[in-house]
Structure formats: C-alpha cells, structure tokens
Structure 1
Amino acid sequence: MPKDRLNTMFRGALILSISSLVAKILSAVYRIPFQNMVGNTGFYVYQQIYPIYGIGMTFALNGLPTFISKLVAEQPDDTSQALVTRRAFHILSGLSLGIFVCLQVGAPWLAVRMGDGQLAPIIGAVAWMFLFMPWLATGRGYYQGRFLMGPTAVSQLIEQVVRVGVIIMAAYIGVHRGWDDYHMGSWAMSSAAIAALCSSLIFVSFGLRYLLAPAPAATRPLPSYRQLTRRFIVEGGTLCLVAAVVVLLQLIDSFSVMRGLTRQGMLIDVAKAVKGVYDRGQPLVQLGLVVATSFSATLLPALTNALAHRQLIEFKRHTRAMVHVSLALSMAATVGLIALMPQINRLLFGSLEGTTALRVYVISILFAALITTYTSVLQSLDQYSAMIMGIIAGLGTKLLLNYQMVVHFGINGASATTVLSLAVMFGIMWLGSPEDLRQVLLESGYLIKLLLVSGAMGLVVILTSRELQALAGPMMAHQRSFAGIITFIGILVGVVVFVAGAIGARLFTIREWLVLPYGKRLIKLVAKGKEHH
C-alpha cells in the first residue's frame, strides 16, 4: 500500500475512533438523566424496545458499512466502485423494507412475547429507522472504502446528538404534561428515525450522484446480485453479529425477564419496575466498556500497519499491549464498580434497589472488553470461525438459561446468565485463537499479578467507603450528595492503589504504559524515583 494512502487511512481511523468514542459516551450517559426523569417503569418501557434500535444502529453504523467498504476497496476503478455500491444499496433496500414490514405487522405479536402488549406502538415507532439503513450504510461504506472517514464520523455524531436531544426532550415534556410511560416511550423511540433522517442529509450529494442518477456503463465485470447477496449474508452477517453481541443479549432479556418475573409471582406493575431497575446496569456496562476499550483501540492502526508491512514480531507486540491494556482497564473498572456499587446506585439512580444484580451485571465489562479486543485481532487476521462459534454458543447459553434463571433467582439470575454467556463466548474465541494470541493472557504471570493488584484495590476502596460512612453517621450516609462524595473519593483512592500496585508488580511494559493516559509522566516519575534511590 502506498505511503500516502496508508497515512490517509491512519488519519481517517483516528477521526473515526474519536467520533465513535464521543458517540458511545453520549449513548451511555443520557440514560442516567433519562431514568431519573421517567422513573423505573418509564425506563423499563424504553429499554424493552432499545435492543431493536441497537441492532439497527449496529447494522447501519458498524457491521454493514465495514463490509461495504471492503467491497468498494476491492474494485479496481471509480466506476466499478460506484456500481458495486449501487448494487449493495438495492440489496439493502429490499432487506430493510422487509424488516420494516415485519416489525410493523408483527409489533403486537412481538409485544405479547415480551410480556407487555402495550409496547406494540413503540415497536412500530422504532421500525421507521430501518428505512434509512440502506442510505446510511452505503454512504458510510462507500467513503470508508475510499479511506475518507470524515462523512461517517460527522453522520455518527449528528445521529447521536439528535437522538439524545429528542429523547431528553420527550422525557421532559412527558413528565410536565403527565403523559403515560408508553406515550412517552413512543416519542422517545421516534428519536431513532428522526436522528437517522438528520444524519442521512450528510449523504444527499453522494446519493444523488451514485445511487439515484442513471448508472454509468460498467468498465469491468461486476459481482452478480446473487454473489453479492451471498457475501452480504456470510461476511456482512458475521460483522453485524460481532458488533451486536451485547445488544443481542439485551434483546433476549426483553423477551424473557418480564415473563420470568411474572411467572415468579410478581404483579405486572411491580415486574415492570424491577425490570427497570435491572436495566440500570446497561449504561454502567457501556461506560465501563468505553473506558476499557478506547485506549487499547488506539493500537489498531499500528496493528494494521504491522500486518500491511508483514512485521510479525511488531504485530505480536502490539497485540500483547492491546490485550494487556484492555484486560487491565476492564478489570479495574469492574472491581471498582463492584466495590462502589451501593454509592454509585444511589448517586446515579436515587436508590439502592438492585445493587446485588448490578454488581453481578458489571462483571460483563471484563468479558465484553476481551471479546471486543480479540475480535479486532482475529478480524485483522481474517479468522472468523472461532468468533462465530463463540457468539452462537454464548447467545445459545443466554437463550436456554435466562428464563429459568429469572424464575428462580429474579434479576440476579438474569445478570448471572449474561455474565456466563459472555464468558462462554470469550472462552470459545480464546480456545480457537492462534497459539500466540492464547499465550498473551498467560505469559509472565500477568493474570495473577493483575488479580492481586485489582483485589488489593477493591479491598482498599471498600474499607475507605465503610470508614467514610461510619464517620458521617446514618443520616448523612443515606443522602445522594454524600454518595457522590464517597464515589469521588473511592475512585481517586482506587486509581492511586491500582497505579501503585501496577508499578510495584511491574504489570505493564513501557510500550503498554505509553498507551495509558499520563503513562509517559508515570514512567518519568518512576525513573526519577529510581535515580534518587
């Protein structure tokens, strides 16, 4: 690959990574004020249908654009790129129209299967976003295939900002006008179609030129519609499945948690509120994943560069750094959240309901971060079989066990099943990975060191939290503001203990420290300390 093209690709990857990070943070954070405004039942209504939106967004934002960009990059000239994009648009138009019709017609049936017939209009509201999927996926995929990431980055940010704005506005108006939870939910979910429309405007000139204008004559033979459709199902379907893992687990929850709680004997209104409490875990896991994967993801361009230049030793070093950093940050985030969960729950959501279920649920961060990291490496190596087997086995585990676990253990059972499913996914991916990639987790006692450092951090944070509560007394301990103070102090103490432990145990190499925020400064400080001694 020419040097200029490689530099353009890396710059584009950086732009896309930054916009993706901002979009992920927005997508996680808005749910906290939203839950505070609408309460547990209102949050349940929104979260029951959210996975359908999440799957559509994954198709239009990650899975399909990545596949289409690959199709475009394979073409030898501009005309072939334009024509293959047009064919992809036609195939996706048929698919999205089919999904739209199925959701509109099947909304009452789906709502009943979710255990709440009143959800049907909300399913109908979210269905409209699928009509914009072909336009968005082909626009993003075409530009990414030409190594131009700007349009995708801008459309991604517009989509999230508009969607979050509409949701918060719907919640605010709904609360002040006394709307019921389902009416508010319909307006909140209409945000998906409004946001898709707004982000589609970025691709108007692209669409007029490449999708709607008369087709130019082909300069070379193109893949047939049948060949493209087969590739869409196999390759595109694989990429979508990988990108949508966490959302698919949430979709299984939508169909089984409510029914399990009512089977347990709960009144339906109580079950809705309890499901809303369980759904508090999703923004926490999302935020934890952003922290755990964003820094390690900065190594992806270097990984691609090493492969492009066939520098296998350098590729292994970057892979090792990526896995170690991702695992360490996800472990630290998981242990920290478990230790501080009562305070975080009170601070963010105003009560201690579901603290045990949330403590179990956030263990998902650990396995989801490892899955994300390993799939990035396996995709770069074009090794898909272990990923697919892992994902199918994990989803099968959730599907088979979730309902019975909820019937017997309530939302604690649903949390445990999610963690088990992700553990199964990662276990199969790890076993199916190349030998070098498997050894990354086991070499030089890394895992044992990390467990000791994280355990020490968790213990110190719990003891600090208890001491602060004891000093404050029972009156202060139940206040939301005081929960915020304990959380803030707990995070500071946790960071200091973890960093000190990591330095003492020599957890990271210099390369790995440099990936972390302020890593360069820490290396200098440690070096100065050694000089003084």
Structure 2
Amino acid sequence: MVRKQPARRVRQSFLYGALILTAGVLLVKVIGALFKIPLSAIITEDGMGYFSTAYSFYNVIFSLATAGFPVAVSRMVSESDSLGRWRDVRRIREVSFPIFLLTGAVGTALMILGAPLYTEAVGNPGALPAMLALAPSVLLCSLAAVYRGYYEGLRNMVPTSVSQIAESLAKLVFGLSGAYFVMHTCSRELAQRGTVFGRAVGDGAEASLTVCALGAAAAILGVSIGSLLSVLYLRRYHRRCGDGISAAQLEASPQPQPGRTLARRLLASSVPIAIGAVAMSVSGLIDASFLQTRIAYILETDPVPMLAMYAGSIPAENLAAPASIPNYLFGCYNMALTLFMLVPSITQAFGVSALPSVTHAFARGGKKELQSAMETVLRVTCMFALPAGIGLSVLAQPIASLIYGVRGSTPIIGQALAVMGVAAVFAAVTTPLGSMLQAVGHVELPVILVLGGLLVKVVLNYVLAGIPEINILGGGISTLVCYVLVAVAELVALVRITGIRFDFMSTVVKPLLAALLCGASAFGAWRALETYIGGSRLSAAPAILVGAVVYTVALLLLRAVQVEDLAMLPGGEKIIKRFQKYLQKAGG
C-alpha cells in the first residue's frame, strides 16, 4: 500500500501557474514536433491525411465526452476553495469520477460505431484503422480530466503539465516506432509477396495507400498508450501527494453540499462548456469534410487551375490515382495546421491558469483585483500570440522548409501557413477570453459566440474550398474570419459584463508594435540571407532568432512588460530589480 506524504499545499499565482503550464506545453510541442515531423516522412502525406481525418472525428467525440468537465470542476473547486468550503472541494472530486467514467465509455463506443459511417461519408475509408486505434483514448482522457481539473482548481498546475509530458513521450516512443515497424514490414512484404499481413491488397497506388493507412493506425496507437500512462501517473500522484487540504481545514469547513446538488451544478456548468468545446472541434471536422469533398468536386468539374497551381508539388502516383488527391492535399493542409496550432495551444495554458485566478478574484468581489488579473491575462496572451502569429505568416515558406524539409509538398504547406499565421493570433486570444467569461459566471456565452463564428466558417469553407484557384486555402481563410469574429465578440462581452475598461495601450497596442518590428526584422534577415549566402533550409532559424532579439528589446523600450506581471513569477523580486536597473540604463 502506498502511503501519502504529509500534506503540503501547493498554490500558484496566474503567471506562475501559466509559466508551469507553458513550459510543459512547449516541451509537449517539441516532443510533438519530434513525433510529427519524422512521422510525415515515414507515413508520407497520404498517411498524414488518414491520421488527420481520424483526429478530426476524435476531437469532436473527445470534446463531447470530456471537454466541459475539467473546466467546470476547476471553476467549482476554485470557488469552493476561495470560500473555505474544503469539504465541498473533496466531494466535487468524488462525484466527478462516475460522471467522467460514463461519458468516456459512451465516447469510446461512439468512436467505434461512428468510424465506419464517417470514413464512408468523407470518402476516405483508409482512415478507419486509425480511428479504431484512437478510440480508447476517449475513455482514458476522461479519467485523466478529473485529476487535471481538480488540481487546476486548486491552482496546482504541476500534475497537468507532467501528465501531458508523459503522454507525449509515450506517443513519441510507441507511435514512431510502431509506424516505422509497420511501414517497413508491410512495404517489404508487399514487394516480396504482393500481400500485406498475408492479405492481397491490389496493385500499385492502392497497395501503397493501404500500407500508409496501417502506418497511420500504428502511429495513433501510440497516442492511446500515452493516454493510459497519463492516467496512471495522475492516479499515483494523487495517492502519494494528496491535495494539500489539511485535517484542520476540513474540521473548520462547513458541511458539504449533497452529492446530487454538486453533480447537478457540475453538469449545468459543464454542458455549455462542452458544447463550446465541441463547436471548436467541429472546426477541424468541417475542414476534414469540406476540404476533401470540395476538392473532389473540383477534380470532377474544373481541375486544371488547381493542378496548375500545384504543378510539381503533387506526386505522380497521386496524379495517377486522382481519388487520392483530396486526401493528399488535406494532409498538406494539416501539416500547416500543426504549426498553426502551436500558438493557441500555448495560450490555452494561459486560459487554464487564468480561470481559477479570475474566479477567485470575482468570488471575493474585488474589482481592482479582478481588473489586474484580467489585464495580466490579456497582456501576456498578446505578448506571446502576436509575434508568433505574425512570424508564422511572414516566414511561412521558410518555416515550412525548416520544419518539413524541401519536398514537393512544402510550397503547398507554406501557402496555407501564410494565411493561418494571422488566424493563429486571434485563435490564441479566444481561449483566455472565453475562460475569463466562464470565470465571471457566463459559461454559456462563449458557446454562443463560438457557434456564431463556426456558422460563418461553414459557409465560407464550403464556398471558398470549391473555387479551383483557392481550394484548401479556403480552410485557412474561413478559419481566420471565424476567429476574428469570436475574439472581438468575446472582448466586447467581457467589457460589458464586468464594467472593466482595459488599458489597451499596455495590453494590446505596445505588444502589437513590438510584434510588427519583430516580423519586419525577421523577414528582412531572411531575405538578406537568401540574397547574400544563397537559399538554405536552415535560413529561417537565424531569421527567427533576429526577430526574437528585436522583439525583446522593443518590449523593454516600449515598457510593455508591467512590474505586476514580473512580481507574479517565481523569483519575481530579483527579476524586478534587474528589470528596473535595465530601464534606468536605457533611459527609463
């Protein structure tokens, strides 16, 4: 029997918690890059198309089954913790488990039963093995979500961060090795015997696509294994470390609310959030469905402009089997989408960390504290999202070459990324803004706003993706318009609901000016390298470094970083002293 260590309360400020989560997310993304970049070479663009199609459906089921509950648990735990109702805190966790278990099991069943129907609907049957391999992750991630939401509500971001890293490492090891083994074994068997795992699979392009489909399934099986290891870590952490609530605190706490009451509150809070998360996941499903079906429509009606646009970028084997072109282009689009998602995935950590902090300030009724917390969230989000999104746009082609290498699909990826880089800025802002709306009690409003944005995305996606000269770029344009509308609407709603007037000069304008200087200097450095030393796959790296240095200096000169922000970091007092000395030397 594992004995718990003596309780020690871990409580982090917004920025401290965001720093932990951001560091974890950055490490997860590095691991993810080490996974996806070689994976695209192992299973090719066709395999990535199957991989992405499976994930598009999975994200909707996963959101439906789990997405609302961690946020609802975090908010309820944070509220009860701020009011000293620690028995309620414990009971919230207890009532969450059976709910999460049920929804996770239902989600896994929907994934298994819905996979054949979905792959047939989008005309991509090769994605079926990958979808089935991913199905167990719904249940496993549901169980992990209980622990993550619980500790996030207590403002302890360590379990979430470490469990995500463990999950990513397992995906890297088992997913890559599994994909390589399957692709190597099946390709050799196909060349020697004309079969795959002892079964005849046809000739030429059809056989090659079958091998890619099995490789994608093997890669995704690593994701399910990672989800299992994440649950095991969280369970062990809870048994060994506990939650830091002492016996004295429990003794002084009021009697807890009935379990049924807490369960009803949990469901009432989580359903709108889950609908919103599902709506955002539907964005990927829209892309997976419309981009492939509309490109198939272009191939049937007017293929010449699109094929001319990508002349030399679509492999001969795909041109020989035109039915595979929609999946190939969708695979290219998702390789750009992977880079796009880096930005909002980082700022999602800000939203997770912001929710308990803003909830705490709102529950205590301190308007000054609430304004300070909200401005910090928006400022830190903009300081990260603006240079990252602008950098992705202005260096889209060189970044695509740096990450994926010089290959036929690189120009296609770069064109999509140029549009999606700008969209990444607005996508990055929506999650923290939505979290703050939920923190002040309006859990349903982000859902309504997101649904409105998605309605616009559906219409634009269908129309634009069917234009031969636009095709998959329609996905990026519709994504940009969607997130612009949602971000602006959330910001306006937050101002009206709270009555707080943001200092936009410090939160938005100064980071934007610094980010524009960053983008201009990075692009100038890249052009100079291209002109004077010739083109190179690695030329984007020094250009990014130049942009980062210029951005840091610009932030300091514009005084975009607030002392209050630094005070919330670990070792904040020492940082402030050094920061102030630098400002004095710089004339500040």
Shift of 1:302: 5.8
The separation in 2 between residues aligned to 1:83 and 1:310, in whole angstroms, is 25
Shift of 1:64: 1.9
Hey, what does 1:49 align to over in structure 2?
54
Asked whether 1:189 is paired with 2:220, we answer yes
Hey, what does 2:439 align to over in structure 1?
380
Distance 1:513 1:44, change over 3 A: same
Shift of 1:381: 1.6
Q: How does 1:346-385 map to 2 (within 5 A)?
A: 346-350=401-405, 351=407, 352-354=410-412, 355-385=414-444
Q: How does 1:23-172 map to 2 (within 5 A)?
A: 23-27=28-32, 30-55=35-60, 63-68=68-73, 85=93, 87-141=95-149, 151-172=159-180
Q: Which moved more, 1:90-99 or 1:70-79?
A: 70-79
The separation in 2 between residues aligned to 1:44 and 1:276, in whole angstroms, is 4
Q: Which moved more, 1:387-396 or 1:75-84?
A: 75-84
Report the TM-score when normalising by structure 2.
0.74
The separation in 2 between residues aligned to 1:16 and 1:161, in whole angstroms, is 16
**Aligned residues of 1:10 and 1:301 also touching (Cα < 8 A):** no
Secondary structure (helix, strand or coil) at the match of 1:279 reads: helix
Q: How does 1:45-444 map to 2 (within 5 A)?
A: 45-55=50-60, 63-68=68-73, 85=93, 87-141=95-149, 151-179=159-187, 180-202=211-233, 222-224=258-260, 231=265, 233-242=267-276, 246-265=280-299, 267-290=322-345, 303=358, 306-307=361-362, 310-350=365-405, 351=407, 352-354=410-412, 355-408=414-467, 409-435=470-496, 439-440=501-502, 442-443=504-505
Distance 1:231 1:24, change over 3 A: farther
For 1:494, give the aligned amino acid: G
Cα deviation digits, residues 380-407 of structure 1 (max 9, x gap): 2222343122111122222233122111
For 2:394, give the aligned amino acid: A
**Aligned residues of 2:152 and 2:352 also touching (Cα < 8 A):** no
For 2:411, give the aligned amino acid: E
Secondary structure (helix, strand or coil) at the match of 1:432 reads: helix
For 1:188, give the aligned amino acid: A
- Please, which runs of 5 or more residues in structure 2 have no aligned partner? 1-6, 188-210, 240-254, 304-321
Matched pairs, number? 506
Residue identity over aligned pairs, in percent, reads: 22
For 1:173, give the aligned amino acid: F
**Aligned residues of 2:358 and 2:440 also touching (Cα < 8 A):** no
Q: Which moved more, 1:236-245 or 1:312-321?
A: 236-245
The separation in 1 between residues aligned to 2:582 and 2:120, in whole angstroms, is 61
Distance 1:67 1:513, change over 3 A: closer
Shift of 1:416: 0.4
Shift of 1:512: 4.9
The separation in 1 between residues aligned to 2:212 and 2:55, in whole angstroms, is 15
Distance 1:310 1:142, change over 3 A: closer
Shift of 1:269: 1.8
Hey, what does 2:537 align to over in structure 1?
483
Report the TM-score when normalising by structure 1.
0.81
The separation in 1 between residues aligned to 2:514 and 2:88, in whole angstroms, is 55
For 2:47, give the aligned amino acid: G
Shift of 1:333: 1.1
Secondary structure (helix, strand or coil) at the match of 1:382 reads: coil
Shift of 1:23: 3.4
The separation in 2 between residues aligned to 1:113 and 1:279, in whole angstroms, is 19
**Aligned residues of 2:393 and 2:420 also touching (Cα < 8 A):** no
Distance 1:99 1:300, change over 3 A: closer
Q: CA RMSD in A?
A: 3.9
Cα deviation digits, residues 310-330 of structure 1 (max 9, x gap): 442233133223212312321
Shift of 1:6: 11
The separation in 1 between residues aligned to 2:44 and 2:583, in whole angstroms, is 48
Asked whether 1:499 is paired with 2:552, we answer yes
For 1:348, give the aligned amino acid: I
For 1:525, give the aligned amino acid: Y
Hey, what does 2:199 align to over in structure 1?
none
Distance 1:317 1:7, change over 3 A: farther
**Aligned residues of 1:357 and 1:415 also touching (Cα < 8 A):** yes
The separation in 2 between residues aligned to 1:186 and 1:365, in whole angstroms, is 29
Cα deviation digits, residues 73-126 of structure 1 (max 9, x gap): 759999877776555433334333333333222221110222212222322221
Shift of 1:306: 4.3
- Please, which runs of 5 or more residues in structure 1 have no aligned partner? 208-218
Distance 1:185 1:223, change over 3 A: same
Secondary structure (helix, strand or coil) at the match of 2:544 reads: helix
The separation in 1 between residues aligned to 2:256 and 2:36, in whole angstroms, is 50
